[in-house]
Amino acid sequence: MGGGRLSVGGVHELAIVESVVDAIVEKVGDGPIAAVRLEIGKLSGVVVDSIRFCFEIVANGTGLQDARLDIDEPSGRAYCRECGDEFDLDDPIMLCACGSADLDILSGEQLRIISVEVH
């Protein structure tokens, strides 16, 4: 997406950042924004460093261009349907100590816009 606009092909976080910028402009308008707070879980598959890199490019020329980007990275937490254990995990290959892969992911997959600070 943003095909003609940029040529950072293959950086898949670009689409995520474009969605962030679009959603914020839609909700609070085009005015200058001081800060943006996102929540990007450690199991979301999204790389936070790439988000920061893409944000600089995508925000340029919008009300978000001077905004500070705060990113919370909640850890992964899972419940094992086999043995009933609840445990932390930050590895996308998800296995309980008992060997089961039948897990409920309780946290870590978040991809959320929490808030913005406006002037």
Partner 1 sequence: MCSTCGCSGEGSGTRISLVTEHDQPHDHEHPHDADHPHDHEHEAGEAHGHGHGHAPAATVEETRTILLEQEILAKNDGLAAANRHRLQEHGITAINLMSSPGSGKTTLLESTVRAYAGVRETLVIEGDQETWLDAQRIRATGSRVVQINTGAGCHLDAQMLAGGLKELAPPDNSLVFVENVGNLVCPALFDLGETARVVIISVTEGADKPAKYPYMFRTADLVLLNKIDLLPYVDFDVELCLGLIRQLQPEARILQVSATKGDGLGEWQTWLDAL
Binding residues for partner 1, rule: CB under 8 A, are 1-12, 15-16, 18-20, 22-30, 32, 34-35, 38, 45-46, 61-63, 65, 92-95, 101-102, 111-119
The answer to whether 103 contacts Zn ion (rule: CB under 5 A) is no
Nearest distance from C-beta of residue 100 to Zn ion, angstroms: 4
Nearest distance from C-beta of residue 22 to partner 1, angstroms: 6
> Among residue numbers 33 through 92, which ones bind Zn ion (CB under 5 A)?
80, 82-83, 85
Amino acid making up residue 56: E
Q: Is 100 exposed, middle or buried (0-12, 13-18, 19+ CB in 10 A)?
A: middle
Buried b / exposed e along 20-31 (16+ C-beta atoms within 10 A): bbeebeeeeeee
Structure tokens at 62: 């919008």
Q: Which is nearer to partner 1, 75 or 115 (CB)?
A: 115
Given partner 1, Zn ion, none, residue 69, with its beta carbon under 5 to 8 Å by kind, binds: none
Tell me 60's DSSP state: T
